[in-house]
Homo-oligomer: A and B are copies of this chain.
Amino acid sequence: MRILVVNPNTTASMTATIEDSAARVANTDTEIVAVTSSMGPVSIEGYYDEAFAVPGLLMEIAKGETAGADAAIIACFDDTGLDAARALAHIPVIGICEAALAATAFIAQRFTIVTTMERSRLPLEHLVHRYGMAGRCKVRAADIPVLSLEDPNSNARDRLRSEIATALRDDDKAEAIVLGCAGMADLTAELRAEFGVPVVDGVAAAVKQAEALVALGLSTAKRGAYASPLSKPYKGLLEAFEPRKIAAS
């Protein structure tokens, strides 16, 4: 099967990290197709960046579905544009936050997401609530810009470690840690070794959920909030971006 993994920010080096993480856990007969969105901000830090990442993301999903993908993954921990993507596509679409939380819920009663910037903490708390994990899952921000994770000279990884240590020691009483940014995927193995608790990467978790849904023959229900978009005119420059037209062309 073919799984499309869309990095909704426009930084190709982060896509490489994501692709590595996805490929490492994929079944042997799964083809991972990782793409970088061609439009939007270079990193997604808060609501504003999210808004401008969505059109480019949807375009990649429309193109990927037309090209034969069996499932799609949105590889930003904000699950950017997830609802719109599910309305657009017929294949299943998975967010890496929801996949990470679903996997962790099978192995721990209390856990903590450690994310990058304070401005992403509340959006993630909303997701935690939406996914039914409020009361089980706290969110902490290590106060590190997303792209600093790729900079070997930054102290980003030290701050991440420090915040994990706090989550294990303090009131969270975390039994497991969820990495709250796609750009942390390459750190999973070493953090598990260092802290001796389950550490969950959403990219890898999403690949396994995508494979699972395809194997189960399940795709997005189309009779409620995810009914296919109605055909209607688009005005202005955005007309040029309408994914269904692009995908069809």
Contact = CB atoms under 8 A, between A and B. Distances in A.
B54 A224 contact: no
Contacts of A229: 45-46, 48-49
Contact of A43 (B118, B119, B232): B232
A17 interface: no
Interface in A215-230: 215-221, 223-227, 229-230
A19 interface: no
Nearest to A94: B106
B224 A108 contact: yes
Contact of A88 (B43, B48, B55): B48
A132 interface: yes
Chain A contact residues (Cβ within 8 angstroms of B): what range?
35 or more
A240 interface: yes
Contacts of A110: 122, 224
Interface in A82-113: 83-84, 86-88, 92, 94, 98, 102-111
Nearest to A122: B225
A134 to B, nearest CB: 8
Contacts of A209: 106, 212
A107 B50 contact: no
A249 to B, nearest CB: 16
A39 B107 contact: no
B84 A227 contact: no
Given A52-B241, A102-B102, 6 more contacts: A55-B238, A98-B106, A106-B213, A111-B221, A119-B224, A204-B216
Given A55-B238, A212-B208, A41 B218 contact: no
A237 B59 CA distance: 12
Contacts of A221: 107-109, 111, 175-176, 197-198
